[in-house]
Amino acid sequence: MGAIPSWRRSAPRHRTATRLFAVACGTALAITLAACGSSGTSSGGTGAVSAPTGGTPVKGGTATYALPPSTTPNYIFPFESATYFSVANSEYFQYLLYRPLYWFGNGASPTLNTGLSLANAPTYSGNKVTITMKGWKWSNGETVSAQDVVFWIHMMQAVGASDWGAYVPGGFPSNVSNVTAVSPTEVTMTMNKAYNPTWFTYNELSQITPMPMAWDKTASGPSNCTTTVSDCSAVYTYLDSQSKDLSSWASSPIWSVVDGPWKLTSFNSDGNSTFVPNPSYGGSPKPSLAEFQEVPFTTEAAEYNVLQAGAAGGAGQKIDVGYLPSTDAPTKPAGATVGANPVSGYTLDPLYLWSINYFPMNFQSTTGNGPVIKQLYFREAFQYLMNQQAVIDGPLHGYGFATVGPVGTYPATNYLSAKGKQGDPFPYNPAKAKQLLSSHGWKVVPNGVTTCTDPSLCGPGVKAGQQLVFTLPYATTANWIEQEMTQLQSNMTQVGIKLNLEPKPFDQVTAIAGGNCVVAHISCAWDMADWGGGWTFVPDYYPSGETLFLSGSGANSSGYSDPMNDSLINQTLTTGSLQPLYTWQDYLSTQLPFVWQPNGVYSLTEITNSLRGVIPQSTTANLNPENWYFVK
Amino acid sequence: MIGFLIRRILQAAIVVLLVTVIVFILLRAIPGNVAIAILGPSAYRNPATVAQFNAEYGFDKPWFDQYLLWLGHLLQGNLGFSWTLDQSVASLLGERLPKTIILVGFATILALIVAVPIGLWQAVRRNRAVDYTFTGLSFLFYAAPTFFVGTVLIYVFSVKLHWLGAEGPQGGVVNDLTDWRDLLLPVITLALVTIALFSRYMRSSVLDNITEDYVRTARAKGASGRRVLWRHVMRNSLIPIATLLGLSIPGIFAGALITESVFNYPGMGYLFYQSAQKQDYPVMLGFIVVVAIATVVGSLLADIAYAVLDPRVRYV
């Protein structure tokens, strides 16, 4: 580089520039200090936060609801295939417009709510069931009739096996031999045998969403699916294509025929939806809000930024019902319902779904570990090393419940047996785990690798020298799963079980272990896998276990098979009392077809204090904005 | 020049084709089951649906057959159909691309407006406090992850000071152009890394030119310092910036992906992010094709700009 030109050394102009630069730096520093020092939002205090009371209800207003991250509705037709079978489509969207025949969710209880149902409670007589419609109206003036129910069932009979997301081979409607609309208000069904009325109502009839006659058409014009099953395939094809044209939803003459409390006035493919009250809605209460909006978010962090900014009265959108990322939640004190709320002006209400959480061990594993996994004592030892309470207290910040068996523990229901109510049947106990292994022919090597020294005790198929080494892929979607897996791996070292953890995307884990590997014709070369989500009892609200635990079921991802279990499940399907359910769950909870793990909170919901009616939230994931209202 | 352009266009086509082959293979090599990724684990209730999906979308065919099928559609202008969003990929990109272009465009313009004078000033005031300060800031912003910068800006200007929105403009392109309070933070976030990069190059380029003989000659002929700087040094110093601009396009689009996620901005980057999470291959491939074409076009424009700015450069 050569000599610096003389004009660069001249002073006056550059002193001015330097002064300007100094002023700019000082301003930036002042802004930063102001931001850090301002009291825009403050901690919400300590201890439990109760829902606000008081205030004068006002009619109208627009409530904005933040959808879960990367979750947007993409199917409006309430007959969705597996591709579209999701809470985002059903409970957060379709159900606002098109009511299912039977509504499940009484406040926080996952029970039948006849008040919000389109029909009175079904009546059973042997293998016959009668459904009596209430006579609510579609928005085009037609009555929600028995024929509308038959329309849906005919559609199911025609295309359900391939195009209904909750279809189970051998299940509804295969177990119905005849369905007839005997009058405009009455439907009778004849089942192939007498089933447990609760089971049939909660798990079979729960799937039905009546459809208006206005939808019984194809591109050519009106059709006859309601009376002729063979016509339904063409009608389905037409409605399916209309549903896939997202840009047309708000203006479509098809989708504008609604019987729910809301009508859709705008929708874009980003997921922004706007609903207004349907004046023809026959249920109660009628919406008080003038408008209800659903807004999508890319990530939890993006939503939280907007929630905080809006809470502080900042620029941009204000969210009325949003959520607090679990990583930002202060730990909940033991015994409290909710912990401190870092967002002022909002009420924090944890939402738990009616569900259980578990991860499968593969009884059909071809890695060589299958015979070990089949041994009950081994599964018991493994379960004794799953410290559910420590996971709830730590990674879940107190927001979770232990899974004790195949029936959920929250909310409290009479489906849970007395034994289940006693809590975790396998509380953390490394000594017990060690004793189980050593008494069954294993040489336990803490911090090493335990090996089988006496195959006659280890169990059939287990060879001498077999090591307890397993691969465990887990989904990286939630931080708490990652921490739980690390904790579990550490716990296992106490008895010489080596877990090789493999973090993977959610989709890869479910692809590996989401289904029965033999039934689904996928690889069985895996030992165990954890996608973190377990099973939510929607739309199978009665936790009878036939989908998850029956031998040969596609969703029975562990491949667990036990004639006693199958027999007990079948009794729950056909016997009206709860005793078979109790007997079955008490048996299965100790058989450990899966590894029971903590059931974490579904959403730490934040509700603006000026909005009421949101609490109690539904454990069946339903949204009821018709119950919401603002106060001043 | 015409011959040069024709050769470059043919090269570009080959490059884009190779990129699609590599990406197609990599996507097919991702472990897991696309059918389950799209249908969800509930598909295991009825395993026949998995077989139906595979047959419908060609996953039961060899990957090369699948590629040729996709390429054939591409050459007819059909980018495929999103399995999760139920729209044609072309319409999805058509909706989202203008939003990303606005974000990237404003960020690039801002970067140039800020980086060029800063780089110039640093070179003129080299080894002084201002030079060291901007050098430090450049390293800081260049090293800082985009998501971190965005999150800090949101926290300061939105959550604490309430000056600007915490998310990007929602809705259509018109909202982007009118809702400046929501657009400003995403633009600044994306621009900061580019400013850091461009200002460094500009400083270096000005320092190289400022000691050239023509500068001394211009001064000897009586030109003022300002005239020498703006009429002579600046133009020559911009040549590498023009080249850098074209080559920065993939990086800027990558940064846009993260920025759009942080600011909940429904552009093309966010679309790619959603699709990658759900293994929606048609959308991912469509995005890659668009970015690959943008990259080769950017590179070509950079070369042309180079020839325009520097009369000594002639392509044959």
- The least confident of A128-132, A574-578, B140-144, B215-219 is B215-219
- The predicted pLDDT at position A21 comes to 52
The answer to whether A161 contacts B48, with C-beta atoms less than 8 Å apart, is: yes
- The predicted pLDDT at position A119 comes to 98
Angstrom CA distances, B95 to A69, A268, A420, stand at 21, 10, 52
- The predicted pLDDT at position B216 comes to 83
Highest-confidence range of A480-494, A529-543, B104-118, by mean pLDDT?
Answer: A480-494
More confident residue, B48 or A136: A136
pLDDT digits (tens, 9 = 90+) for A54-112: 889 999 999 999 999 878 898 999 999 877 888 999 999 999 999 999 999 998 999 99
Highest-confidence range of A330-334, B36-40, B240-244, by mean pLDDT?
Answer: A330-334
pLDDT digits (tens, 9 = 90+) for A3-53: 333 333 333 344 555 555 555 555 555 444 444 443 333 333 333 346 788
- The predicted pLDDT at position B42 comes to 63
Q: Is the pLDDT of residue A281 over 80?
A: yes
Q: Is the pLDDT of residue A566 over 80?
A: yes
d(C-alpha B92, C-alpha A72), whole Å: 15
- Any chain A CB within 8 A of the CB of B234? no
- The predicted pLDDT at position B47 comes to 67
Q: Report the residue from B42, B162, B163 with minimal CB separation from A85.
A: B42
The answer to whether A5 contacts B210, with C-beta atoms less than 8 Å apart, is: yes
- The predicted pLDDT at position A13 comes to 43
How does the average pLDDT of chain B come out, rounded? 84
Backbone angles phi, psi at A273, to 5 degrees: -125, 145
Query: Tell me, what amino acid is at A38?
Result: S
pLDDT digits (tens, 9 = 90+) for A536-551: 998 899 999 998 999 9
- The predicted pLDDT at position B8 comes to 81
Residue A405 CA, distance from chain mean position: 18
CA distance A184 to chain B (A): 34
Going by C-alpha positions, the residue among B58, B55, B35, B85 that lies closest to residue A514 is B35
Q: Residue B313: which pLDDT band, with cuts at 50, 70 and 90?
A: low
Query: Tell me, what amino acid is at B309?
Result: L
Edge-to-edge strand ranges of the sheet holding A273-277: A262-267, A273-277, A291-295, A62-66, A321-323, A603-608, A346-351
More confident residue, A8 or B90: B90
Residues A323-333: what's their mean pLDDT? 92
- The predicted pLDDT at position A2 comes to 33
Q: Is the pLDDT of residue B142 over 60?
A: yes
- The predicted pLDDT at position B211 comes to 82
- The predicted pLDDT at position B266 comes to 86
Alpha-helical segments (H) within chain B = 2-29, 34-39, 48-56, 63-75, 89-124, 129-143, 146-153, 173-178, 180-210, 213-220, 225-227, 234-247, 249-262, 268-278, 281-309
- The predicted pLDDT at position B236 comes to 82
- The predicted pLDDT at position A98 comes to 98
More confident residue, A44 or A136: A136
Preceding omega of A411 cis (within 30 degrees of 0): yes
Decide: A492 and A385 in contact? Cβ < 8 Å: yes
How does the average pLDDT of chain A come out, rounded? 90
- The least confident of A251-260, A346-355, A468-477, B206-215 is B206-215
Residues of A in contact with B277 (CB under 8 A): 70, 505, 507
- The predicted pLDDT at position A311 comes to 67
Q: Report the residue from B215, B224, B266 with minimal CB separation from A270.
A: B266
A-facing residues of B in 136-195 (CB < 8 A) are 151, 154-167, 170-171, 181-182
pLDDT digits (tens, 9 = 90+) for A168-205: 888 888 999 999 999 999 999 999 999 999 999 999 99
- Best to test chain B binding among A64, A298, A522 (most B CBs inside 10 Å): A298
Q: List the structure tokens of A112.
A: 């039948």
